[in-house]
Amino acid sequence: ILVQIEQVNGAKFNTYVDVPGMAHSKTIDVAMSDLTISDDSPDKTAKLDLVQVKQILLLDLSGITAGNDEDMTLWVGTVTFK
């Protein structure tokens, strides 16, 4: 899963997390230090500022990379930032 945080100024930060299939529950921790500036970010020198977050994207790339055209569901529970 691609995790992307976009700020109001358009800066984007990404990281990837592994999510098990087959309806397994898993707690996933994403450290803010794991997020790196995205290739399509307009400002390559931007710093992550959680006060400026516009949106958080969770993108399942398996359909694109593996050619998987099945319906998939990602259940998201509590989201916290530390």
Name the pLDDT band for 20 (thresholds 50, 70, 90).
confident
User: By three-state DSSP, how is residue 49 classified?
Assistant: coil
Q: Which of 2-6, 20-24, 43-47, 65-69 has the lowest mean pLDDT?
A: 65-69
Query: What distance lies between CA 21 and its chain's CA centroid?
Result: 17
58, β-bridge pairs: 3
pTM of the model: 0.78
SS3 12: strand
CB of 30 closer than 8 Å to CB of 51: no
